């Protein structure tokens, strides 16, 4: 079985500060990992994904994430927060194993607030 834990349901940063959103996963086989962003009353937009190539993955809007197998983590970072980054962020895991290889398991989300 696979699962995702996002530490911190709400993270608040100042504009220009580092953004760090934490994601830990549990999987018995090599995982595929995703970060999505959701703005109010909109669908989820893919930020980036890890598919077992480079462990440091760069995404859209200046975000990046690093896959650390030893820590079972896939934390999302951005060096300098912008007001437009305020949104909810979801980490998700998927594995190609068994009969549920289509299933994407989501974390509960982290709401990012950016203060001026």
Q: Which is nearer to another protein, 99 or 116 (CB)?
A: 99
CB of 66 to another protein, least distance (A): 19
Which residues lie near another protein (CB under 8 A)? 32, 34, 36, 41-46, 49, 51-52, 90, 94, 96, 102-104, 106-109
Residue whose entry in the numeric block shows the structure tokens 């896959």: 67
Token pair of 99 as six digits: 């009969």
Round to whole Å and give the CA distance between 93 and 112: 20
Distance from C-alpha of 94 to C-alpha of 2, rounded to nearest angstrom: 8
- SS3 state at 85: helix
Give me the least distance between CB of 67 and another protein, in Å please.
14
Determine contact, residues 34/48, Cβ cutoff 8 Å: yes
Nearer Cβ to another protein (45/61):
45
For the CB of residue 76, give the shortest distance to another protein in the complex, in Å: 17
Instruction: Considering the complex, state which of residue 31 and residue 78 has its C-beta at the smaller distance from another protein.
Output: 31
């Amino acid at each position: 079985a696979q699962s995702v834990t996002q530490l911190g349901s709400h993270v608040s940063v100042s504009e220009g500060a580092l953004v760090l959103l934490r994601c830990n996963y549990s999987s018995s086989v090599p995982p595929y990992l995703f970060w999505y962003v959701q703005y109010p009353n909109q669908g989820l937009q893919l930020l980036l994904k890890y598919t077992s190539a480079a462990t440091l993955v760069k995404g859209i809007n200046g975000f990046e994430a690093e896959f650390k197998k030893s820590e079972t983590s896939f934390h999302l970072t951005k060096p300098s927060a912008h007001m437009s980054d305020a949104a909810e962020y979801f980490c998700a895991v998927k594995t190609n194993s068994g009969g549920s290889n289509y299933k994407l398991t989501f974390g509960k989300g982290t709401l990012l607030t950016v203060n001026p």
